[in-house]
Amino acid sequence: MSAALDGVGVERAARRFAAPQQYVQGPGVFDELGPIVAEHGARPVVVIDADIVELLGERLTASMALAGLTHQVVPYRGPVTRAHIATTVDRVATGFGDVVVGVGGGKALDVAKGVAHRLGRPMISVPTTASNDGPTASIYALYDDEGRLSELGRLPSNPAAVVVDTKVIATAPIRFLVSGIGDALSKKFEARSCARGRGVTTQGTRPLIIGEVIADGCSRVLLRDGVAAVRDVIDGRVTAEVEAVVEAVILLSGIGYENGGLSIAHCMTRGLQVGRGSSKHLHGFHVAYGLLVQLALEDDPEVDRREIRDFLTAVGLPTSLADLDMPSPTSQEIAALGAAAAAAPHAANTWVDASATRITAAIDAVERQVASDGD
């Protein structure tokens, strides 16, 4: 395969596009799951979050029966580890599992991806929260026994279908949608940084233009409709703004990051997921704060950082470590966050110096800005 040099002198071969094969979204589409599954198999295994079996079990059975499918339900509860995935595979009955369906939050979907990977079968994502863009991705996270991210698994291809019932999404606690907004908003700036620097995507290639374009569109939707969507979900309504934000969080953000790349905002999660107080917060809350650190690090005059901070505040996302339950962070804690971020795989995906010293200084700048805003 021939190689060429891009604008920053990086030798690269062909670039790759990744996306789910099918995406279905709307109120009530959970009841259409059976016919969608039938396009990929006749005896599905459904890995479902144990906490929602009672809520969705009857609808699941009716939908599968509608399509003439015989299915096995495997309730899930626990961590996403290699051992847990292996145990779940062992629970699959003989003759079942020609397609694997994951129903629930991020952990349930990751376990389902791991099972599908082990079985060599297609996987269908049915998220019940919009807390991140994981449902569309080929990647799934694996953790160690202490709950720390240990590695990333990868399906041979993205999910065969993603089915997003916005009425179900809207019944989840509001913190999940808020987390999804935080995770998705960063993708514009991360894809931009990856493209401007020497970054590669999670597929190991230089980013495609479509990744940056979609990530930019994702950001526009969130800044336009995010506040209204949060308000409407709190009020129990599925509006056009809710539909737009859910699509941005799950689909646009997913395509944006897989084809555009990640950067410092996601690097910051490495320290925050184990930090004092911050460890109890959802991924998107970590990313939202990480975005502010990335913008401070890059100090790009084209970016209106005040607009971003005001938006995060308006939807209930953090703008300081105190907001992540790490009040009065010590210099040692801030330095540890900077070191963890600098050691993360995506730290090279920017055009500026992303050393531990520089990231630590950027965290300090974010904290000083919050103090200044309060004066």
- Give the pLDDT confidence of 51-70 residue by residue, as tens digits: 999 999 999 999 999 999 99
Q: What is the CATH number of the domain that holds 61?
A: 3.40.50.1970
Same domain membership, residue 143 and residue 232: no
Last residue of a domain, one of 171, 195, 226: 171
Give a yes or no: residue 15 inside a domain.
no
Same domain membership, residue 304 and residue 331: yes
pLDDT in tens, 69-120: 999 999 998 889 999 999 999 999 999 999 999 999 999 999 999 999 999 9
Same domain membership, residue 206 and residue 321: yes
Same domain membership, residue 192 and residue 137: no
Q: What is the CATH number of the domain that holds 225?
A: 1.20.1090.10
Same domain membership, residue 185 and residue 282: yes
Locus of tokens 């994502």: 125
Percentage above 90 pLDDT, the chain: 88
Give a yes or no: residue 29 inside a domain.
yes
Q: Hey, which residues does 46 pair with through a beta bridge?
A: 73, 101
Helix (H, G, I), strand (E, B), or coil: what is residue 164? strand
Same domain membership, residue 54 and residue 155: yes
Q: Hey, which residues does 48 pair with through a beta bridge?
A: 75, 103
Q: Is 124 in contact with 36 (CB distance < 8 Å)?
A: yes
The average pLDDT across 322-344 equals: 97
Q: What is the pTM of this model?
A: 0.93
Same domain membership, residue 360 and residue 224: yes
Same domain membership, residue 159 and residue 96: yes
Exposed, middle or buried: residue 179 (CB in 10 Å: 0-12, 13-18, 19+)?
Answer: buried
Percentage above 70 pLDDT, the chain: 96
Same domain membership, residue 298 and residue 235: yes
Give a yes or no: residue 1 inside a domain.
no
What's the mean per-residue pLDDT of the chain? 94
Last residue of a domain, one of 121, 142, 171: 171
And the tokens for 70? 């015989």
Give a yes or no: residue 16 inside a domain.
no
Helix (H) or strand (E) holding 162: strand 161-165
Would the CA dihedral through 265, 271, 272, 273 be positive or negative? Answer: positive
And the tokens for 239? 């509006």
Return the pLDDT at 179: 98
Same domain membership, residue 67 and residue 100: yes
Q: Hey, which residues does 151 pair with through a beta bridge?
A: 142
Return the pLDDT at 7: 47
CA pair distance 289, 366, nearest whole angstrom:
9
Give a yes or no: residue 213 inside a domain.
yes
Return the pLDDT at 374: 63
358 falls in which pLDDT band (50, 70, 90)? very high
pLDDT in tens, 233-290: 999 999 999 999 999 999 999 999 999 999 999 999 999 999 999 999 999 999 999 9
pLDDT in tens, 177-196: 999 999 999 999 999 999 99
Residue 47's domain comprises: 23-171
Same domain membership, residue 254 and residue 158: no
Residue 360, pLDDT above cutoff 70: yes
Residue 11, pLDDT above cutoff 70: no
Q: Hey, which residues does 161 pair with through a beta bridge?
A: 124
Give a yes or no: residue 356 inside a domain.
yes
Same domain membership, residue 343 and residue 256: yes
Give a yes or no: residue 6 inside a domain.
no
CA pair distance 140, 344, nearest whole angstrom:
17
Give a yes or no: residue 14 inside a domain.
no
The average pLDDT across 187-206 equals: 94
13 falls in which pLDDT band (50, 70, 90)? low
12 falls in which pLDDT band (50, 70, 90)? low
Number of domains in the chain: 2
Return the pLDDT at 1: 31
Last residue of a domain, one of 114, 146, 171: 171
Return the pLDDT at 144: 83
